[in-house]
Amino acid sequence: MSTLLLERHKGVLHVTLNRPENRNAMSLQMVIELREVLAQLDSQVRAVVISGAGGHFCAGGDVKDMANAGGKDQVQALNRVFGALLQEVEALPQVVITVLQGAVLGGGFGLACVSDIAIADHKAQFGLPETSLGVLPAQIAPFVVKRIGLTQARRLALTAARVDGVEAGRLGLVHFVEGDSQALAQRLDEVLGQVLRCAPGANARTKALLLASVEQPLGPLLDQAAQWFAEAVMGEEGVEGTQAFVQKRKPRWVG
């Protein structure tokens, strides 16, 4: 990988966006490499942690890629590829955690919106600068609306305003706001410990159920949920979880 650093440890894949000279701006190559990594995840990976090198998370899309894309069709295809990445990150069965420092702009803002758990430095700068550049947050906007609601999404997108980590927490964009890098690391360890206590299969099905609840009709969704629940109760994880509870021990999840 030329734009990513990867480290796998105890069921957690740490992915570091690694273009610090550009504040980890999202180039086409980075998008391609991220999609390749996600496509190759196996069931042994319980969580994916995404962070950025050099004190920044991601300053958005690489403007040079857009300038060099060629005609309208090429620009459209380039833009849509990033939307596909956001869809794939959101739909991962693994728990996705973002650790947000420095610039969290444009595409970086979008990645934060599709993470399951977001941890931010209080000084991190969040924003949607696209309209100030004469373009629009085309692939990002739907995910921002789902994350923080239409009213706040309109305010941020139509002003290109910057907000810090504290304000991002108030908006519901991030879940935890920390005062320094040590506190960020401690919070990440705490969250990962909580995630790894949960059964991986149950987490994957629960995440799918929560995402489906936004769009699917309630009746069919609850029918599907009942089927998944019965499968979980009768499955390996349900049996192990019940036995562990009765025996007053920690469950031993496969993977």
Round to whole Å and give the CA distance between 99 and 122. 12
Average of pLDDT values for 231-243? 94
Average of pLDDT values for 220-228? 94
Residue 95 pLDDT exceeds 90? yes
Instruction: Tell me: do 110 and 150 sit in the same domain.
Output: yes
Cβ-count burial of 199 within 10 angstroms (0-12 exposed, 13-18 middle, 19+ buried)? buried
Instruction: Tell me: do 120 and 205 sit in the same domain.
Output: no
Largest Cα span, the chain: 65
Average of pLDDT values for 95-117? 98
Instruction: Tell me: do 114 and 229 sit in the same domain.
Output: no
- Chosen domain end from 176, 196, 216: 196
Does 163 reside within a domain?
A: yes
Query: Residue 126 in contact with residue 82, Cβ under 8 Å?
Result: no
Does 254 reside within a domain?
A: no
B/e letters for 44-79, b = 16+ CB within 10 Å, e = fewer, are ebbbbbbbbbbebbbbbbbeebeeebeeeeeeeebb
Residue 251 pLDDT exceeds 70? yes
Please tell me whether the overall predicted TM-score, pTM, comes out greater than 0.85 for this model.
Answer: yes
Does 18 reside within a domain?
A: yes
Round to whole Å and give the CA distance between 135 and 246. 58
Instruction: Tell me: do 131 and 67 sit in the same domain.
Output: yes
Average of pLDDT values for 110-138? 97
Does 93 reside within a domain?
A: yes
Cβ count within 10 A of residue 162: 15
Name the helix (H) or strand (E) containing 14: strand 12-17
Instruction: Tell me: do 168 and 206 sit in the same domain.
Output: no
Residue 154 pLDDT exceeds 70? yes
Average of pLDDT values for 209-238? 93
Q: Which residues pair with 50 in a beta bridge?
A: 15, 98
Cα dihedral 94→97→103→108 (10° resolution): 20
103: domain CATH number is 3.90.226.10
Average of pLDDT values for 90-108? 98
pLDDT tens per residue across span 167-179: 999 999 999 999 9
Instruction: Tell me: do 124 and 176 sit in the same domain.
Output: yes
B/e letters for 215-254, b = 16+ CB within 10 Å, e = fewer, are eeeeeeeeeebeebeeebeeeebbeebeeeeeeeeebebe
Average of pLDDT values for 123-133? 96
Query: Residue 60 in contact with residue 26, Cβ under 8 Å?
Result: yes
Instruction: Tell me: do 9 and 109 sit in the same domain.
Output: yes
Instruction: Tell me: do 179 and 232 sit in the same domain.
Output: no
* Percentage with pLDDT > 70 across the chain: 100
Instruction: Tell me: do 212 and 152 sit in the same domain.
Output: no
Instruction: Tell me: do 190 and 77 sit in the same domain.
Output: yes
Does 255 reside within a domain?
A: no
Question: Of the given ranges (64-78, 130-144, 168-182), which has the lowest mean pLDDT?
Answer: 64-78
- pLDDT at position 202, please? 96
- 9 Cβ contact list (under 8 Å, min separation 6): none
Boundaries of domain holding 58: 4-196
- What value does the mean pLDDT of the chain take? 95
Does 252 reside within a domain?
A: no
Instruction: Tell me: do 134 and 40 sit in the same domain.
Output: yes
Q: Which SS3 state, helix, strand or coil, does residue 102 take?
A: coil
Does 94 reside within a domain?
A: yes
Residue 67 pLDDT exceeds 80? no
Tokens at 190, concatenated: 């705490």
Question: Alpha helices of the chain — where are they, by DSSP H?
Answer: 28-39, 63-67, 72-91, 107-113, 141-148, 150-159, 165-171, 181-197, 200-212, 218-234, 236-246
Instruction: Tell me: do 104 and 134 sit in the same domain.
Output: yes
Structural domains of the chain, count: 2
Average of pLDDT values for 3-27? 96
Does 253 reside within a domain?
A: no
pLDDT tens per residue across span 185-216: 999 999 999 999 999 999 999 999 999 999 89
pLDDT tens per residue across span 31-54: 999 999 999 999 899 999 999 999
Query: Residue 113 in contact with residue 66, Cβ under 8 Å?
Result: no
- Chosen domain end from 160, 180, 196: 196
Residue 255 pLDDT exceeds 70? no
